[in-house]
Structure 1
Amino acid sequence: MPRDARSRRYLMCPPTHFEVTYSINPWMDPGKPVDLPLAMAQWEDLRDRYLALGHTVELLDPRPDLPDMVYAANGACVVDGRVLGARFAHREREAEAEAHLEWFRAHGFTEIHEPLHINEGEGDFAVTSTYVLAGQGFRSSPLSHGEAQEFFGRPVIGLELVDPRYYHLDTALSVLDDDRDEIMYYPGAFSPGSRAVLARLFPDALLTSEEDAARLGLNAVSDGRHVVLPQAATGLFEPLRERGFEPVGVDLGELLKGGGSVKCCTQELRAA
Structure 2
Amino acid sequence: METLILANIPSPPQGVWHLGPVPVRAYALCIITGVAVALWLTLRRYAARGGDPEVVWDAAIVAIPAGIVGGRLYHVITDYDKYFGPGRDPWKAFNISGGGLGIWGAVALGTLAVWVLFRRKGLPLAPFADAAAPGIILAQGIGRLGNWFNQELYGRPTDVPWALDIYYRVDEAGRYAPLTGHSTGEVVASVHPTFLYELLWNVLVFALLIWADRRFRLDRGRVFALYVAGYSFGRFLVELMRADEATMILGLRVNTWVSGILFVTALVVFLRLSRRPQPPARTGSVEPGTEPAPGTAHAS
Common fold by TM > 0.5: no
Q: Which has the higher strand share?
A: 1
Structure with the higher fraction of residues in helix conformation: 2
What is the TM-score normalised by the length of structure 2?
A: 0.26
